[in-house]
Structure 1
Amino acid sequence: MADILDVPAGRRPTEQSEAHTGRIILISLVAALGGFLFGFDTSVINGTVGALETQFAASSWALGLAVSSALVGSAIGALFAGSVADRFGRTRTMIMASDLFIISALGSGLAFSLWDLSFWRLVGGLGVGAASVVAPAYIAESAPAHLRGRLASLQQLAIVVGIFVALLGDFAIARAAGSASSPGWFGITAWRWMFFSGLPPAILYGVGALFIPESPRYLVAKGREEEALRVLRDIEGDTAPSKLVEIRRSVRQDRRPLLADLKGGRFGFLPIVWIGIVLAMLQQFVGINVIFYYSSVLWQAVGYSEQSSLLITVITSVTNILTTLVAIACVDRLGRKPLLLIGSAGMALTLGLLAYLFGNAPMDALGKPVLQGSAGTTALIAANLYVVFFGFSWGPVVWVLLGEMFPNRIRALALSIAAMAQWVANFAVSASFPALKALGLGWAYGLYAAAAVFSLFFAIRFIKETKGRELESM
């Protein structure tokens, strides 16, 4: 990680600059813990679904509500997180999100019905939504311009690591107990331990937020310039005073943003806000969460057993982690827009191939597609290549851009709107996949391929490069 986040070529690191770089990496890692909980909380329920259905004799729609309630909470949390962060500060909002994660983990693990479980999941979703807004905003506002892209990419890295840890933890707990429905340690059912496993990282996130400095831009906006200067000296070094002057000049032109500040043009919002909304929604419309939520359908269609399908899903999540590391290494060297363009083209090709393979696959007696021989191997390779293309492009780069692209005066609020749109899109894609699957997997992957093609043209037309630019110039 130290090599990946090293000072770019052409800059000679000194002991002082290395100390400042180490400091900003540390505080960015703490902020990115929210991303870890984001990935963990939305994925941990995967291992509990079968046990919950049995425990509470749940109907499919009630079970679906319990699973998706976190996404609903995430949309609500994202919507209000920006105004909360502007009023109380970035680090206090992190602490609030940590409290919501802790409450959700305890409540979900102690749930006595599917209805109160849905409520506790919704509470956790509020924390997820808040973390999805405050982490990229905090990192973007605290990081030096030459490191900002890589540090903001830590948010996506933390998300995919959280997904991996949740899946691996579910597997380990179920294996130790015999199944998710079996008694585990101290006679407590294994699925309850799966929810309880979210407590340690939630507590660590809250404790960590107590020890990192507040965003210097927030401090200047609140008139706390001496504190802001101390933070900037830790981050920027000798250039801190001139940086403070830039921030002061920018903040003086601003005031607390209102929804009315986002309005403009013929379509309700300012063009930059619409660009952020569409960017965030396209990240989901290309179908990435289908790969992680419903991948067993794909792998079993290729002929793998259910247990092997779970193992492949874990391997896919590792692939996602590795490609996110590639993005961190490249985002400040190649830029944001080139990565998006390469990712869109790759996703369009791989999803188009999956749509073709499943659209032309023969059906078995149960009406499920069957891919045999080279078709099955090709689908397996295409699906993993799709994750690779997403993992180094639209996965991390969208969060980088959302933290950078908005003017200072509307950043937190605009990011909240975009993040809410992302969660609504996540819910729409996840909830619609079973119905699309009934029509045929070819149709489903065809729609995601069309979204990837659109994302390519959207990035070409509307995305402006932000590499190396100061936030005050946005």
Structure 2
Amino acid sequence: MAAPTSPIAEPHETKGAAILVAAAAAVGGFLFGYDTAVINGTVDALRNTFHLGSVALGFVVSSALLGCAVGAWFAGPLGDRLGRVKVMLIAAGLFIASSIGSALAFSPVDLTIWRVIGGLGVGAASVIAPAYIAEVSPAHIRGRLGSLQQLAIVSGIFVALLVDYLLADAAGGAMEAMPWGGAAWRWMFASATIPAIIYAVLALQIPESPRYLVRRGRLAEARDVIKRLIGGDVEKRITDIKRTVAGTTEKVHLSILKGPKFGLQPIVWVGILLSVFQQFVGINVIFYYSSALWASVGFSESDALLITVITSITNIVTTLIAIALVDKVGRKPLLLVGAAGMVLTLGVMAWCFSTASQTIGANGETLTTLSPAIGKVALVAANLYVVAFGMSWGPVVWVLLGEMFNNKIRATALAVAAAAQWIANWLISTTFPALSNIGLTFAYGLYALFALLAFIFVWNAVRETKGRELEAM
């Protein structure tokens, strides 16, 4: 077959199209953030509605994360077999089913099952979106487009928390009935159906990944996608992709990840540890439990939810900073600066809670009280911690996971790393209620230690990927 007569696409012709397509794919990240954060406003309502202790509550809150790990694990191989877009559609369907089921839950077991189903969709989206965005992005803006995933995640967190706040405020509390019927916490879960439907519609409008198309031998379609979205010498890029996927089959096995170090290739271990450290610094404690945490130290329920909304806005702003810097400064410097900032801010939070007084509430629960001055310091430190994470580890880890693996192993290696991330997220989220019973000083001190270990790990093990083509990985 003759090559197209115009194999060269100019960068300015492709940039706008690539941004639009990447943004559409990143809506999966919006659902990822929305689904995992919407639980925040329901925590106290779930505790009281279903009479849950701290351990049971921690499990119900974090149950979706188990589904996330499973969804992430299978999303990579499914993406290589069915295509990236079909997996996005499956994820959207799981989101819709979960939001409706969670809203109608009649027991903690029932709710847990629906949350796990939603987690399957979250996990799948967390793998497919960064892989797809990396594969349709020109190298010179790949970092910024890859950061759209995190921007969508934090935007989803913000919208979920804002919806929680507005619904709770309208009803007079998360357990109270809305004017049209049903407790506010049930409508918090139901609200996720709207972005899930939008995600499904957008997924139907975007093209398939050129790397997937080349793997399946659909070269004419691959040429068209590369010309429209990536640009450059189309035929050379097709040849490079063929070379880097040579020897792979439609049926992908985890055996392609095998290597000499503890059974896996070194680059796969780097991806796994990046994912684990991203969670072990405790970021999701802020977004899953913050409203209950601030209420426990003296803020009203309404004020605690509002503080959480403000924190999520901070996260969005700092993600925009990362988008502006990631292709200029690079991935590794941002990770190092962010880790150092988290060590300092988590250390301050640990100190603040070391000054707290403990009292026993009417129901036998332990109440933590900070002085007004120390409470303000803790609030500032928590938001600066979000700044440190949001301009570094939040977006940059997803950028690296989407681009650091070669074409043969990308989707499968990303799936393994993302599954590890969700398991780490589950461990942190499940153990926080128990750790907080030991003491918030201990909990935040532990997260500060992990931030320090993350700094050391990046310094020694992470390689810069700024400006490199995927075929050069």
Shift of 1:298: 5.2
Q: Tell me what 1:10 maps to.
A: none
Q: Tell me what 2:74 maps to.
A: 80
Q: Tell me what 1:213 maps to.
A: 207
Equivalent residues in 2 for 1:256-405 (5 A)? 256=250, 257-296=252-291, 299-300=294-295, 303-359=298-354, 361-366=355-360, 368-372=367-371, 374-405=373-404
Distance 1:176 1:276, change over 3 A: same
1:11-70 C-alpha deviation (Å, 9 max, x unpaired): xxxx96444211111111111011000011111122233333444445554444332221
Equivalent residues in 2 for 1:7-46 (5 A)? 17-46=11-40
Shift of 1:246: 1.5
Amino acid at match of 2:76: G
Amino acid at match of 2:234: A
Distance 1:75 1:234 in 2: 34
1:284-340 C-alpha deviation (Å, 9 max, x unpaired): 111111122232465456653343222111101100000000000100010000100
Q: Tell me what 2:463 maps to.
A: 464
Distance 1:299 1:120, change over 3 A: closer
Of 234, 240, 252, which aligns to 1:246? 240
Of 28-37 and 46-55, deviating more is 46-55
Q: Is the 8 A contact 1:301 1:371 kept in 2?
A: no
Distance 1:301 1:62, change over 3 A: closer
1:425-455 C-alpha deviation (Å, 9 max, x unpaired): 1111111112211222111111111111111
Where does the alignment leave 5 or more consecutive residues of structure 2 unmatched? 1-8, 361-365
1:317-373 C-alpha deviation (Å, 9 max, x unpaired): 1000000000001000100001001101111111122223323x1524446554436
Q: Tell me what 2:438 maps to.
A: 439
Of 189-198 and 47-56, deviating more is 47-56
Distance 2:340 2:47 in 1: 40
Distance 2:51 2:261 in 1: 50
Q: Is the 8 A contact 2:32 2:126 kept in 1?
A: yes
Distance 2:245 2:260 in 1: 24
Amino acid at match of 1:400: V
Of 322-331 and 232-241, deviating more is 232-241
Distance 2:384 2:154 in 1: 16
Q: Is the 8 A contact 2:241 2:471 kept in 1?
A: yes
Distance 1:76 1:47, change over 3 A: same
TM-score by length of 1: 0.92
Distance 2:206 2:41 in 1: 34
Distance 1:177 1:377 in 2: 28
Distance 1:204 1:197 in 2: 12
| Identity %, equivalent residues | 59
1:144 aligns with 2:170: no
Shift of 1:273: 0.9
Distance 1:92 1:137 in 2: 14
Distance 2:133 2:82 in 1: 17
Of 115, 129, 132, which aligns to 1:121? 115
Q: Is the 8 A contact 1:157 1:325 kept in 2?
A: yes
What SS does structure 2 have at the residue aligned with 1:211? coil
Distance 2:140 2:383 in 1: 31
Q: Tell me what 1:12 maps to.
A: none
Amino acid at match of 1:395: G
Distance 2:384 2:405 in 1: 32
1:96-131 C-alpha deviation (Å, 9 max, x unpaired): 101111111122222233222211111100000000
Distance 2:56 2:106 in 1: 15
Amino acid at match of 1:413: T
**Paired residues, what number?**
459
Amino acid at match of 1:175: D
Distance 1:300 1:45 in 2: 16
Q: Is the 8 A contact 1:255 1:409 kept in 2?
A: no
Shift of 1:178: 3.0
Distance 1:233 1:458, change over 3 A: same
Shift of 1:183: 3.2
Equivalent residues in 2 for 1:90-129 (5 A)? 90-129=84-123
Q: Tell me what 2:178 maps to.
A: 184
Amino acid at match of 1:424: I
